[in-house]
Chains A and B, each alone.
Chain A
């Protein structure tokens, strides 16, 4: 299954944190989220239409992890995004 972030988010590093805020659209415009390093990395990848395997491969290329760990990280992250309405 392919997935992609909705439009209308702004990501920025502030005080050592990666912060994302919605700037338009149907999200709560008063919310903010912070991403850890892996989250920020996957967030960038999700600007494009990708599937789970692409994300897992990207993580394996960037971090020193085994595939099972990478896959469960991707699933957990994508699950959170989906649950909170971030995906198009």
Chain B
């Protein structure tokens, strides 16, 4: 067993893992604070992750993929952390989040739409002014009517992100389009996407809290819908559209 502590979303989480690789995976987040809570991963958790992943593959009509145990452990850990962090007003979210001038912009959409491609266009346009917080699974913490985006070790296949945080200025729902255009939407219009792209509780007792946090997210930031192609001008349209929405 390997015990370590990581700092995520403003909390210190104790982790008991089976593989050294899981600690290495979290290298950027290791800390030696007293844990606020702890999670432990065992063989049964890996078995459940394997089953879940096979089930998803079947639902989506793919051949069932076989993942190594050390990878499954990172998934199990993500799930356990996400469950525990409901208690700290925090949601695990699926999206690519980039910070500019100390403010975070989160792009969300279902996999394969081009979130990562779009934030890459932001980096190409803005250079060092655009800092990746996380390219896949950031944490969002809701406190006092405000939302803060935090990095996490689960930063996507290009491993883009950092152990940093920034106030969330906007959530942008990304869609492919022939031309680039962005417009603000009311929170209600974003709700289905917020609920599809956030980690839902496995534990029924967390559902009330989950819905509260979705509500706090809906009330605590601005929402946009972006239709975009892969042209560099997509980043300009998106950034200027959201920057001017003071």
Chain A residues within CB distance 8 Å of chain B: 10, 12-17, 19, 21, 23-24, 29-30, 32, 34
Residues 112 to 130 of chain B near chain A (Cβ within 8 Å): none
Select one of B196, B204, B207, B218 contacting A14, CB under 8 A: B218
Interface size on B, residues (CB 8 A): 18
B interface: dominant SS: helix
Decide: B218 and A32 in contact? CB cutoff 8 A: no
* B211 pairs with A10, CB closer than 8 A: yes
**With A23-B207, A24-B204 as contacts: A17 and B195 at CB distance below 8 Å:** no
Interface residues of B in 63-118 (CB under 8 A from A): none
Asked, given contacts A23-B204, A23-B207, whether A14 binds B215 with beta carbons under 8 Å apart, the answer is: yes
The answer to whether A14 and B200 touch (CB under 8 A), given A19-B191, A32-B195, is no
Shortest distance from the beta carbon of A7 to any chain B beta carbon, whole Å: 11
B186 & A19 in contact (Cβ 8 Å cutoff): no
- Return chain B residues, CB-CB under 8 Å to A13: 215
Q: Mark B183-194, 1 if CB is under 8 A from A, else 0.
A: 000111001100
Q: Is the CB of A21 within 8 A of B211?
A: yes
Residue pair A30, B191 in contact (C-beta under 8 Å): no
Contact assessment for B191 and A34 in the assembled complex, using a CB-CB cutoff below 8 Å = yes
CA distance A14 to B200 in the complex (A): 16
Whether B195 pairs with A15 at a CB distance below 8 angstroms is: no
B175 at interface, CB cutoff 8 A = no
Q: How far is the CB of B207 from chain A (nearest CB, A)?
A: 5
Most B-side CB within 10 Å, residue of A10, A14, A17: A14
Report if A10-B187 is in contact (Cβ < 8 Å); known contacts: A15-B215, A30-B196, A32-B192.
Answer: no
B178-228 residues at the A interface, CB under 8 angstroms: 186-188, 191-192, 195-196, 200-201, 204, 207-208, 211-212, 214-215, 218-219
The answer for the CA separation of A85 and B191 in the assembled complex, in Å, is 22
Asked if B191 contacts A15 (CB within 8 A), the reply is yes
Contact status A17-B191, CB under 8 Å: yes
A17: chain B residues at CB < 8 Å are 188, 191
Q: Is the pair A30, B200 in contact by a Cβ cutoff of 8 Å?
A: yes
Chain A residues whose CB sits within 8 angstroms of the CB of B196 once the complex forms: 30, 32
